[in-house]
A and B are shown apart, each in its own frame.
Chain A
Amino acid sequence: MSTRESLSSLDVRRSTHSPLITLVGSVVLVSLFSVAPWIVPAWFASILMNFFILVIMATMWNLLAGYSGMVSIGQQAFVGLGAYATLFFAIKGMSPLAAIPLAALACGVIALPVTYLLFRLRGGYFSIATWVVADTAMIIIGTVAYLGGGTGHYLPGLSNFDPVSLTHVQYLASWSVALVVVIGTYVLLRSRLGLVLASMRDNEVAARSAGAHVTSARRIVFIVAAAGCGAAGAVLAISQPFVQPGNEFSMSWTAEMLFASMIGGLGTIEGPIIGSVVYFVLFQWLGQYGAWYFIVFGSLAVGIAIWQPRGLWGALRDRFHVELLPVGHWVRERRSAK
C-alpha cells in the first residue's frame, strides 16, 4: 500500500462517541437552566447564579493554570476591574446588562500591557506579581471618587426592574455569560490553539521546538482569561448591586476558582464545572459549621493534590473513558483507496 493511497482515506474524528450524545445532553441542560428561575425556589436560583459565576471564573483559571502553566493568584484583579467597568458604564447611563461585554473587552485590553510586565517572570515570581497587579488595581480604583472611592457605589440602571424580574435578570445574566464562556472555551480548545495549549500543558519545551509559538499562545490565554473574569466581575456587580473595592477585588475569588479547578481537575473543560458543583454542595452543607468549612475545604484540596492530582474528573475519565466535551483527535479508520 502506498503512503498516498493509505492517507487518502484517513478519517480523523473529534470524539470517541457520537456527537449527538453531547449535543442532546447539552440541549437538555441548556433548556433546563434557561427556565430554572421560573421553576425552582428563589433561594435555589440564587445559589445557581453564584454557581455560574464560579464556573466562569474557574473555567478561566483552568485555562491559565491548567493549560498554560500560569498560576495566577491575582485573578481577582480582573473580577474587580470588570465590576468597576460595569459600574463606570452604568453611571454613564448604559444598561448594566449591555455593559457586560464592554467590561470583558476592557479587561482584555488592560490585560495586554500587563502581560509584558508579567511574562518576564516565571513560576512563583509570576504568581506573586499577579497578586501585586491585583492589589495595585484595587488601590488605584479605591482612589477614584467618581466610582465611589474606598466605600463603593450603588450600581445604577437596575431600578426599573421589580424584585422578581430583577432576580430573573440577574440569574439569566450569570447563566448566559457562563454558557458563552464554557462554549467559547470548548471552541478554543478544539481549535489549533487548543492543540498548542494542550501540548504546552504537557511539555512546554517540546511544544516550542515542535514549532508552537508558546509565548503568543500564553498571551492570548491571559487576555481571554482576563476578559472572562471581567465578565464574571460584571455579573457579580449586577447580582450584588453595591460595588465596593474590598469585595470585588477580594482574594477569596481566586481562592474559590483555584479550589474548584483543582478539585475538579486541571487541564480539562469538565473539571472546573465538576469542581464548582463540589464547592457549592460542600458550601451548602458545611456553611453552618463556621470554621469547619475552611478546615474541610483545605483538607480536601490537600488530599486531592496528593492522591488524585488529576482531580475528580480526571479520575472519572481515566476509569470510565468518558468525555462530555471532547476536544481530542481520533484516527477512526484507514482503508486503501484502490
Chain B
Amino acid sequence: MPLLQLEHVSKKFGQVVVADDINFELEEGEAVGIVGPNGAGKTSLFGIISGDVRLYGGQIHFVGQALERMHPSVRCRSGIGRTYQVPRPFENMTVFENTLVGSQQGAVLRGRKSHEAAFSALERTGLSSLANRAAGSLTLMQRKRLELARALATQPRLLLLDEIAGGLTDLEVTELTGIIRSINAEGVTILWIEHVVRALLSTVDRLLCLASGALVADGEPRAVLASEAVRRVYLGDRILNEAMDS
C-alpha cells in the first residue's frame, strides 16, 4: 500500500486552476522533490494534502485512509507534518514551547515524553541551545529550522517541506539538507517543494514538476530536469546545465 496516494486531485480558486487532475503515489521512505514556476500550484498542493486547502475534486489517501473530510489537526496526528514557505513560529512562545505544541498535540504525547520529543526535535535541528529563547527573536535560518523542528516533533511519517532552503546562504542550505537527509534515512518520507535545485538534487531520489496546476513530469531527478516539458515551463537551458554540472 502506498503511503500517500493522490487520484485526480483538482482545485480551483475562482477561475484559477491550482490543481488539475493530479495523480501520483508516494511509497514509505521515499524522498521526493517538487519543482515548478511560481504560481504552479505547489504550495496549494501541500495545502490540499495537509488540509489547509479544501479539495475541489478527486481523492487523497494516506496509509489507505481517505483524507478529504479529515481536519488538518487530525491529518497531522495521523502522520502528516508540514512546514510553511514563510515560517509561522509561535512568536510569543519559547523555541521549546513551539516544538512542545507539536509533540503534545501532533504526536499526542504527555508529560515527560512530550518534553523529550520536543527537545529531541530541537537537537536534531541544532536549536537546543536556543530552547528558552522567544521564537519571535530568531533569525530567518533559525525560524526555518524551527519550522522543521516543530513538524518533526509531531513525529510524522510524511514530512511536507515548503521551500525550506529559500533565502538561506549556501552553507546554511548544506547544513539543512544534511538534516533532511538524516531524517529521511530514519524512514520519514519527504515531499519537498524547492527552488534551490542543488539542495533537491543532493537529497531526493524522485522529482515531480508542476506547471499551471498540472503534473508535467515525474521521475528520476536529472531525467526530469532534462526533459523538454520541464525546460519549457521552468528552468531554461542555462540554469539546467549549471545544475547538471554541479
Contacts of A209 in B (CB 8 A): 50-52, 72-73, 76, 81-82, 84
Given A199-B93, A329-B96, A331-B132, the answer on whether A207 and B120 have CB atoms closer than 8 Å is no
Contact of A202 among B92, B119, B153 (CB under 8 A): B92
| Residue A299 interfacial (CB < 8 Å) | no
Given contacts A208-B76, A212-B105, 13 further A-B contacts (CB under 8 A): A6-B123, A199-B93, A206-B89, A207-B90, A208-B71, A209-B72, A210-B76, A210-B102, A211-B73, A213-B71, A213-B105, A214-B73, A334-B119
Is B243 in contact with chain A by the CB < 8 A criterion? no
Residues of A in contact, count (CB < 8 Å): 30
B123 touches A211 (CB 8 A): no
Give the residue name and chain of the A residue nearest to B98 (CB): A199
Q: How large is the interface on B (under 10, 10 to 19, 20 to 34, 35 or more residues)?
A: 35 or more
The answer to whether the Cβ of B131 comes within 8 Å of any Cβ in the partner chain is yes
Residue interface mask A297-329, B partner, CB < 8 A = 1? 000000000000000000000000000000011
Interface check B116, CB cutoff 8 A: yes
Answer whether residue A277 sits at the interface, using C-beta atoms and an 8 A cutoff. Answer: no
Q: Is A255 an interface residue (CB 8 A)?
A: no
- Choose from A3, A201, A210, A330 the contact partner of B154 (Cβ within 8 Å): A210
Contact of A7 with B73 in the complex, beta carbons under 8 Å: no
* Min distance, Cβ B197 to any Cβ of chain A, angstroms: 26
B 92-136 binary contact with A (CB < 8 Å = 1; else 0): 111011101110111110101001100110010000100110000
Residues of A within 8 A of B50 (CB): 209
Contact code string A258-301 (vs B, CB < 8 Å = 1, else 0): 00000000010000000000000000000000000000000000
Q: Rank and list the top 6 A-B pairs by shortest CB-CB distance, nearest first.
A: A211-B106, A211-B105, A202-B90, A206-B88, A211-B76, A331-B131
Q: Bound complex: CA of A215 vs CA of B51, how far in Å?
A: 14
Looking at the complex, which one of A196, A199, A210, A331 makes contact with B119 (CB distance below 8 Å)? A331
Tell me if B54 counts as interface (CB < 8 A to partner A).
Answer: no
Question: CB distance A196 to B97 under 8 Å?
Answer: no
Which residues of A sit under 8 angstroms from B82, Cβ to Cβ?
Answer: 209
Pick from B81, B88, B128 the residue with the most CB of A within 10 Å: B88
Distance in angstroms from A196 CB to nearest chain B CB is: 6
